[in-house]
Amino acid sequence: VSPAFVAQLVLDKNAEQRRARLHQKWRNRLKHAQASGLTTTRQNMPHRADHWLLKADEAQQRHRGYQSWPIALTLAYARKNKGQAKLFQAFDGNQEVAAILILRHGTGASYHIAHATPRGKALSAHNLLMWEAMSWLASKGCQQLDLGLINTEEAPGLARFKLGTGARP
């Protein structure tokens, strides 16, 4: 069995300290997204199995050959933990281009599901949503964000994205 590493991000309340820990390229993509005209929203995860993020994640799992939680389990978490499953979405005009689902638990949170369309990727929407989520969580007293496993062999881009936030393995 090969070793596994999880990316853990400390969430300082001070935005300047959080920004200073961002990797320079990550910070540049964040600036790009902030200047792109995207709008963002934050809400509780709707209890709908047909939500576009859940369907996009399901398709991505099939395409890339991995498995995450079943949709029913994600929705059960949202129902049983009211207000603790937060959906952050980015829009280019009226079109959703990216989303992140964060699950809160105690003084921590977990990066659960994320997806960006090709347009969202071009606009660095994922960076903007992650920054919004980090800032919101810190403002609510959340102390750390678990970004999940880092797999530099099968998902090097995702590993760079996670570590670019200032997370530590």
Q: What are the contacts of 45-51 at 24+ separation with CB within 8 A? A: 45/74, 45/75, 45/78, 45/85, 45/86, 45/87, 45/101, 46/87, 47/75, 47/78, 47/79, 48/75, 49/75
19-72 residue pLDDT tens: 999 999 999 999 999 999 999 999 999 999 999 999 999 998 898 888 889 999
- Neighbour tally for 77: CB within 10 Å: 17
Whole-Å CA distances, 160 to 30, 66, 164? 14, 19, 6
Residue in 127, 139, 138, 118 with CA at minimum distance from that of residue 165: 127
Tell me the pTM.
0.94
Whole-Å CA distances, 126 to 91, 99, 120? 11, 7, 7
Mean pLDDT for the stretch of residues 120-131: 98
**DSSP bridge partners of 100:** 88, 114
138-157 residue pLDDT tens: 999 999 999 999 988 888 89
Check residue 53 and give its pLDDT: 97
Sheet containing 144-150: which strands, arranged edge to edge?
5-10, 144-150, 108-116, 95-105, 85-92, 39-44
